[in-house]
Amino acid sequence: MAMAALATPASFASVARRRRWIERVTGLGFAMPALVLLLLTILLPLGALTLLSLTNYEFGGTDMDWVGLKNFQRALADPIIRRSLVNTLVYVAIVVPGGVLGALLIAVLVHRRKQTRSFYEVIYFLPVTSTLIAMATVWQFLLHPSLGPVNALLKWLGFAPVAFLSEPSTALATLAVIGIWQLLGFNMILFLAGLTAIPRDLYEAAEIDGCAGGIDRFLTITWPLLGPTTMFVLVTTMITAFKIFDTVAVMTRGGPVGSTEVLLYNIYLEGFQYFHTGYAAALTFIFLTFILVFSVMQTFALDRKVHY
């Protein structure tokens, strides 16, 4: 009777509240390392970036003044920044379709191979493992107007040599081709993973229903089921293309005649060459805004068409 008297509804409610409190504290303890890492690596630097973008601080200086939105107004009125933004968008417009569609084509061709699949995977993935700055030096030699083997091949075929990196009309497109070359291997691996996850019995059922051609199977089965992979590859490729910096810094330094000036390279110049830290912070904020807007637009536009 005494034990029954102790087991009252109030005691059960107290035990339930204590259990919920323990679960919340435990969950918070598991999430705390990730929250601290997010705070230290993303939120605090983003807050510092926002504050710096509203000042005229210069690297190494001891004082700074609050200027509000003047840095952003200066950036929008600067013809060099507008040109670098256009160059960045052109570069992205070339690299994203080439890097995604090219990798998809290679993945489809490699996926069918049995004995040589590993060989092709290694060959195409090598550019991902190499240092792009070192490979940029190799590309400079390959594309040299007089010493490079590419122009030697053009001469042998009867064409005039092309100054790929010295002509304003070809420099940005050449850098875009190098960017596609670097992205193909990584994107191919992602597409291969997506192709491997597609059940083989779907192809067998489609063949029984009369869908025997390779193009028909690709359009009715492969392409729709690769929707989530394609969306991920498209967003990551776009972000990588927006972050073009290494090849510009090593191969062209923004030239010739500013034809390869991109936004990230101008941010580097303003922040670490001219020491205009506040202005560089405003440019960085604009750069991050562009990446966020384009990523969200792509995600929402593609998510409706993706078959999960």
pLDDT digits (tens, 9 = 90+) for 290-303: 888 888 887 777 77
Residues 187 and 99 in one domain: yes
Q: How far apart are the first and last CA of the chain?
A: 58
In a domain? residue 49? no
pLDDT digits (tens, 9 = 90+) for 10-35: 676 777 788 888 888 888 888 888 88
Mean pLDDT to the nearest integer, 203-224: 77
Residue 146 main-chain phi, psi, to 5 deg: -115, -30
In a domain? residue 256? yes
Residues 29 and 115 in one domain: no
24, 17 contact by CB (below 8 A) = no
**DSSP assigned state of 130:** S
What is the total residue count of the chain?
Answer: 308
303, 279 contact by CB (below 8 A) = no
Residues 195 and 284 in one domain: yes
In a domain? residue 57? no
Q: How confident is the model at residue 1 (pLDDT cuts 50, 70, 90)?
A: very low
Domain region containing 18: 9-39
> Kindly report the CA angle at 227 between 222 and 233, in degrees rounded to 5?
110
In a domain? residue 1? no
Residues 29 and 119 in one domain: no
Residues 30 and 109 in one domain: no
Rg, the chain, Cα only: 27
In this predicted structure, the answer to whether residue 308 has a pLDDT above a threshold of 60 is no
Count of domains in the chain?
2
Helices and strands, number each (H, E), in the chain:
16, 0
Residues 22 and 161 in one domain: no
In a domain? residue 65? no
pLDDT digits (tens, 9 = 90+) for 135-188: 888 888 898 888 889 989 988 988 888 888 888 889 999 999 999 998 999 999
In a domain? residue 64? no
Query: Which helix or strand (DSSP H or E) is residue 246 part of?
Result: helix 246-247
Report d(CA 204, CA 218) in Å as an integer: 13
Q: Of all residues in the chain, what percent carry a pLDDT higher than 90?
A: 25
In a domain? residue 81? yes
The predicted pLDDT at position 84 comes to 93
Report d(CA 304, CA 78) in Å as an integer: 38
Report d(CA 255, CA 262) in Å as an integer: 10
Q: How confident is the model at residue 307 (pLDDT cuts 50, 70, 90)?
A: low
Buried b (16+ CB within 10 A) or exposed e, 240-267: bbbebebbbbbbbebebeebbbbbbbbb
In a domain? residue 56? no
Which has the closest alpha carbon to 189: 110, 302, 115? 110
Maximum mean pLDDT: which of 122-126, 162-166, 206-210, 211-215: 162-166
- Kindly compute the dihedral angle of the four CA atoms of residues 91, 251, 181, 101, in this order, to the nearest 10 degrees: 10
69, 54 contact by CB (below 8 A) = yes
Residues 14 and 125 in one domain: no
Buried b (16+ CB within 10 A) or exposed e, 72-100: beebeebeebebbbebbbebbebbbebbb
pLDDT digits (tens, 9 = 90+) for 29-81: 888 888 889 888 888 988 888 898 998 888 777 778 888 889 999 998 999 99
Q: How confident is the model at residue 8 (pLDDT cuts 50, 70, 90)?
A: low
The structure tokens listed for 284 are: 């960085």
Residues 27 and 150 in one domain: no
Name residue, tokens 């990730």: 34
